[in-house]
Chains A and B, each alone.
Chain A
Amino acid sequence: MNSRLLIFTILLEAILIISCERITPRVPADDQILDGPIEGLTSAEKTRFLAGDVAFNDEIFTSETGLGSVFVATSCGSCHAGDGKGTLFTTLTRFGQSDDTGNKFLHLGGPQLQNRAIPGYTPESIPAGATFSRFTPPANTGLGFIEMVTDADILAMADPSDADKDGISGVPNYGDLPSFLNPLPNAVPKNGRYIHRFGKKAAAYSLLHQTVNAYSQDIGISSSFAPFDVYSGLEIDPEISTLTINNVVFYLQTLKAPIQRDQNDPQVKQGKQTFIELGCESCHKQTLKTGPSQIFALSNKTFHAYTDLLLHEMGGGLDDGYTEGSAKTSEWRTPPLWGLGLSPNSQGGQYFLMHDGRARSIEQAIEMHGGEATGSKNRFKQLAQSEQADLIKFLKSL
Chain B
Amino acid sequence: MKKLLLLFMLTIFGPALYGQTDTSFFFTRVKQDSSKLKLNMDAVYNRPFLQMGKLPVSLGGYLEANSSYFSTDGISEGLSFQLPRLTMFMSASIRQRIKFMTEIEFEEGGREINIEFAALDLEFNPLFNLRGGVIMNPIGSFNQNHDGPKWEFVSRPISSTTIIPSTWSNVGFGLFGKYSKKNWVWAYEAYLSNGFDDKIINNNQNRTWFPASKANRERFEESFNGVPLKTLKMAIKHRKIAEIGVSWMGGVYNKFRDDGLVLDKKRPLNFIALDINSTILKDTYLNGEWVWAYVDVPDTYIQQFGSRQQGGFLDIVQPIKKGKMLGWSESVLNVALRLEYADYNVGNFQELGLRIADHVYALVPAISFRPSAQTVVRANYRYERRTDLLRNPASQTAGFQFGFSTYF
Q: Are B72 and A25 in contact (CB under 8 A)?
A: yes
Q: A20-B69, A116-B301, A345-B392 are in contact. Are A63 and B352 (CB under 8 A)?
A: no
A44 at the interface (CB under 8 A from B): no
Task: Determine which of A4, A64, A74, A349 lies in contact with B206 in the assembled complex, contact meaning CB atoms within 8 Å.
Answer: A74
Question: B263 in the interface, Cβ–Cβ < 8 Å?
Answer: yes
User: In the assembly, what is the distance between CA of A311 and CA of B352, in Å?
Assistant: 29
Is there a chain A Cβ closer than 8 Å to B97's Cβ? no
Main secondary structure on B side of the interface with A: loop
Give the Cβ gap from B405 to chain A, nearest Cβ, in Å.
Answer: 13
What per-residue 1/0 map shows which CB atoms of B247-272 lie under 8 Å from chain A?
Answer: 00000001000000001100000000
- In the complex, the answer to whether B300 meets A117 with C-beta atoms within 8 Å is yes
Q: Complex formed: what's the CA distance from A300 to B184 in Å?
A: 81
Contacts of A89 in B (CB 8 A): 303, 349, 351-352, 389-390
In the assembled complex, which residues on chain B have CB atoms less than 8 Å from the CB atom of A91? 351
CB of B135 closer than 8 Å to a CB of A: no
In the complex, identify which listed stretch (B112-120, B159-167, B228-236, B393-401) lies at the interface while the others stay far away.
B393-401
A181 at interface by CB-CB < 8 Å: no
Chain A positions within 8 Å of B74 at CB level: 24-28
Q: A368 within 8 Å of B by Cβ?
A: no
Q: Is B326 an interface residue (CB 8 A)?
A: yes
Q: Is the CB of A20 within 8 A of B399?
A: yes
Q: Which residues of the partner chain B approach A9 to less than 8 Å between Cβ atoms?
A: 377, 402, 404
Q: Which of B128-180 contact A (CB under 8 A)?
A: none
Nearest residue, chain B, Cβ from A32: B393
The answer to whether A88 touches B352 (Cβ under 8 A) is: yes
Contact B301 A118 (CB under 8 A): yes
Per-residue interface assignment for chain A, residues 104 to 133, with 1 indicating a CB less than 8 Å from any chain B CB and 0 otherwise = 000000000000111111110000000000
CB-CB < 8 A to A23: which residues of B?
381, 398, 400
Chain B interface residue count, CB cutoff 8 Å, equals 51
CB distance from A219 to the nearest CB of B (A): 11
Bound form: Cα–Cα A23–B379 in Å = 15
Assess whether B225 is interfacial by the CB under 8 Å rule: no
Q: Does B73 contact A (CB under 8 A)?
A: yes
User: With A and B bound together, what is the CA distance between A28 and B71 in angstroms?
Assistant: 12
- Check: B391 CB closer than 8 A to any chain A CB: yes
Whether the Cβ atoms of A60 and B390 lie closer than 8 Å is no
Q: Which residues of A contact B379 (CB under 8 A)?
A: 12, 16
Cα distance A89–B392 in the bound complex, in angstroms: 13
B184-203 Cβ-contact flags toward A at 8 Å (1 or 0): 00000000000000100111
B390 and A25 contacting across the interface, CB-CB below 8 Å = no
Assembled-state Cα–Cα distance A26/B395 (Å): 11
Interface string of B282-307 (1 = CB under 8 A from A): 00000000000000001011111000
Also in contact, A87 and B300, with CB within 8 A (given A20-B399, A25-B74, A82-B392): no
A88 to B353, CA, bound (A): 10
**Contact of A87 with B388 in the complex, beta carbons under 8 Å:** no
Known: A116-B300, A119-B198. A348 touches B254 (CB 8 A): no
A54 to B99, CA, bound (A): 50
For residue B371, CB closer than 8 A to chain A, the reply is yes
A-side contacts of B6, CB under 8 Å: none
By the criterion CB–CB under 8 Å, are B73 and A87 in contact? no
Interface of chain A, main secondary structure: loop
Say whether A27 contacts B69, CB under 8 Å.
Answer: no
Q: Are B301 and A13 in contact (CB under 8 A)?
A: no
| Closest chain B residue, CB of each to CB of A13 | B402
Q: Which residues of A contact B23 (CB under 8 A)?
A: none
Task: Tell me which residues from 211 to 241 in chain A have a Cβ below 8 Å from any Cβ of chain B.
Answer: none
Shortest C-beta distance, B223 to chain A (Å), equals 18
Q: For chain B, residues 351 to 399, give those with C-beta under 8 angstroms from any C-beta of chain A.
A: 351-352, 354, 357, 369, 371, 377, 379, 381, 388-393, 396-399
Does A73 count as interface, using CB distance less than 8 angstroms?
A: yes
Instruction: State which of A4, A17, A28, A347 has its C-beta within 8 Å of the C-beta of B69.
Output: A17
- Give the nearest-CB partner of A77 in chain B: B206
Least distance between A58 CB and chain B CB atoms (Å):
8
Which residues of chain B have C-beta atoms less than 8 A from A20's C-beta? 69, 71, 79, 399-400
In the bound complex, residues from chain A placing their C-beta under 8 Å from that of B301 are 116-119
**Interface contact B204-A60, CB-CB below 8 Å:** yes
- With A13-B402, A62-B204, A78-B206 as known contacts, state yes or no: A25 contacts B397, CB within 8 Å: yes
Give the distance in Å from the alpha carbon of A118 to the alpha carbon of B304 in the complex.
13
Instruction: Check A348 against B392 for contact (C-beta < 8 Å).
Output: yes
Please determine whether A8 and B326 come into contact, CB atoms closer than 8 angstroms: yes
User: A73, A122, A348: which contacts B391 (Cβ < 8 A)?
Assistant: A348
- List the B side residues contacting A122 at CB < 8 Å: 300
Task: Identify which of A59, A74, A75, A345 gathers the most chain B CB atoms within 10 Å of its CB.
Answer: A74
User: Is B205 interfacial (CB-CB < 8 Å)?
Assistant: yes
Residue A243 at the B interface, CB < 8 A? no
**B75 CB within 8 Å of chain A:** yes
Check: A314 CB closer than 8 A to any chain B CB.
Answer: no
Closest chain-B Cβ to A279's Cβ sits at a distance in Å of 34
- B residues in contact with A169, CB < 8 Å: none
Does A156 sit at the interface, judged by CB under 8 A? no
- Residue interface bits A1-45, CB-to-B below 8 A is 1, else 0: 010110011001100110110011111100000000000000000
Question: Among A25, A123, A347, which residue has its beta carbon within 8 angstroms of that of B396?
Answer: A25
The distance from the CB of A214 to the nearest CB of chain B, in whole angstroms, is 16
A81 at the interface (CB under 8 A from B): yes
The answer to whether A5 touches B371, judged by C-beta atoms less than 8 angstroms apart, is yes
* B205 surroundings in chain A (CB, below 8 A): 60
Could you tell me the distance in whole angstroms from the C-beta of A249 to the nearest C-beta in chain B? Answer: 22
Chain B stretch 296-331: residues in CB contact (< 8 A) with chain A: 298, 300-304, 326-327
B73, A74: Cβ atoms under 8 Å?
no
Q: What residues on B are CB-neighbors of A121 within 8 Å?
A: 300
Complex Cα–Cα for A347 and B351 (A): 13
Interface flags for B72-114 (1: CB within 8 Å of A; 0: not) read 1111100100000000000000000000000000000000000
A sample of 15 cross-chain residue pairs with beta-carbon separation below 8 angstroms, ordered by A number, consists of A13-B67, A23-B381, A24-B71, A25-B71, A60-B206, A61-B204, A74-B304, A81-B388, A82-B392, A87-B390, A91-B351, A118-B301, A119-B202, A120-B264, A348-B354
Q: A20-B400, A87-B351, A119-B202 are in contact. List 9 more A-B contacts (CB 8 A).
A: A9-B404, A23-B398, A23-B400, A24-B398, A25-B73, A81-B388, A119-B198, A119-B201, A347-B392
In the A-B complex, the 5 residue pairs with the smallest Cβ-Cβ separation, listed nearest first, are A27-B74, A24-B71, A348-B390, A60-B204, A25-B396
Which A residues have a C-beta under 8 Å from some C-beta of B? 2, 4-5, 8-9, 12-13, 16-17, 19-20, 23-28, 59-65, 67, 73-75, 78, 81-82, 87-89, 91, 116-123, 345-349
